[in-house]
Amino acid sequence: MWLNSSKWLAGTALALVLLSTAAMAQNQAYRVLETPQATDVDGVEVREFFSYACSHCFDFEPQLVAWTQQMGDRAQVVHTPVTFGRDSWTLLARAYYAAEGLEILDQTHSALFQAIHVNGRTFREPSDIAGFYASVADVSETDVLNVMNSFSVNAQINRAERLVSAYQVPGTPSIGVAGKYLIDVRAAGGQQGMLNVAEQLVSEERGG
């Protein structure tokens, strides 16, 4: 009887170890933020940290677009341009927020990615961005420059920097979910894996 009990205990212990290992592997795909962040949407927020200068972000963009369409109203995707203290990336972050403020993102977002990573264009000055935006959207270069240098865009850049710090973003692209989690793209098994984990977290936040 004692021997049988020992075998049962050993089997139970092994099962618990296996379950614990599986849970750890799952949890390693994302990190829980020490301080949850306020979200900007009514539903479950999925926040992409990106830069137009990042080739991985360029590759990720069509996947994220398709995923966003697939998710419908289950998730609200927002974008946060990352600078990592680089002047060239800061210029492109300003470009994003200027387009958002001018309500021309539909015309400029993918176009700017394409210009950089397909056409090899370099944007060094605000005037370069202004000229490009005027060529792809119904907007004047003067309006673009005014918005890029506005108090509103400065405030958005500063808030983005705080979010990058709060989420401890290690690289781009990265995804945060519900102001609580940051997904590790490598541990998730790549970009598609990152989206799969995001979908799982969105489902959990929605209660199933």
CB 74 within 8 Å of CB 68: no
CB 37 within 8 Å of CB 167: yes
pLDDT in tens, the chain (208 residues): 444 554 444 444 443 433 333 343 445 899 999 999 999 888 999 999 999 999 999 999 999 999 999 999 999 999 999 999 999 999 999 999 999 999 999 999 999 999 999 999 999 999 999 999 999 999 999 999 999 999 999 999 999 999 999 999 999 999 999 999 999 999 999 999 999 999 999 999 998 6
Return phi, psi of residue 126, to 5°.
Answer: -55, -35
User: What domains are there in the chain, each with its CATH number?
Assistant: 32-205 (3.40.30.10)
Cα 107 to the center of its chain, rounded Å: 20
pTM, full prediction: 0.86
Cα 32 to the center of its chain, rounded Å: 15
pLDDT at 208: 64
CA angle 90, 93, 99 (to 5 degrees): 145
Rounded to whole angstroms, the Cα distance separating 61 from 24 reads: 29
pLDDT at 4: 52
84: region left, alpha or beta (phi > 0 left; psi from -120 to 50 alpha): left
pLDDT at 147: 98
Cα dihedral value 60, 64, 164, 179, nearest 10: -150
Q: What is the DSSP letter of 43?
A: S
To the nearest whole number, what is the mean pLDDT of the chain? Answer: 90
